[in-house]
Amino acid sequence: VGSDAKFECEIEDAPNVTFKWWKSGIEIKQSEKYRILSGTTSSSLEILNPIKADSSEYTCKASNQHGTESCRALLVVTGKIPVGPFEISDAMEINSGLKHTISSLDSVASLEIVNCTVEDSGEYVCVASSEAGSDRCSCTVTVKGWFS
């Protein structure tokens, strides 16, 4: 997730070769999802913004009047995007340690403040980034003191 996937198929020079791409036995056509570029001896398939559902076996078939040759490749899209770091509004980066635990599960990031005190109050920002770009969200944490 986050960058395009590209497969390339190359053959030795042969007359009248046509290339076709297949995903799990179904022919792929040029579309907003797939970019196919073919020449006389090579073809490439780009899968734009792949997601987990694009995980599959991809096959390139090169054919002419003398026969067909094919090659296969497996694409696995994990769907994991690097998450973090968390930071406080005064730009102090927070890392996991005794005071803070940062975790990520199924693309959901969590920050646990251990034994929080009034000093932990403030705006917290989570930054998620990958090759495709970054995004951020923030929240304000208010810790009220204990009164006896």
Place of tokens 């646990």: 112
Structure tokens belonging to residue 108: 């959901």
- pLDDT score for 148: 44
Give CA–CA dist 92/100, Å, rounded. 13
Report the SS3 class of residue 101: strand
Q: What are phi and psi of 145, to 5 degrees?
A: -70, 160
Q: What is the mean pLDDT of the chain?
A: 80
- pLDDT score for 89: 47
pLDDT of 30-41, one tens digit each? 999 999 999 989
pLDDT of 105-148, one tens digit each? 766 778 888 888 878 887 777 777 766 666 777 777 777 765 54
Give CA–CA dist 52/47, Å, rounded. 12
Give CA–CA dist 3/133, Å, rounded. 10
Give CA–CA dist 54/2, Å, rounded. 13
Q: Is there a cis peptide before residue 85, judged by omega within 30 degrees of 0?
A: yes
Full set of structural domains in the chain with CATH? 5-75 (2.60.40.10), 83-141 (2.60.40.10)
Give CA–CA dist 52/94, Å, rounded. 30
Q: Do residues 69 and 11 make contact, with C-beta atoms less than 8 angstroms apart?
A: yes
User: Residue 120's Cα: distance from chain center in Å?
Assistant: 33
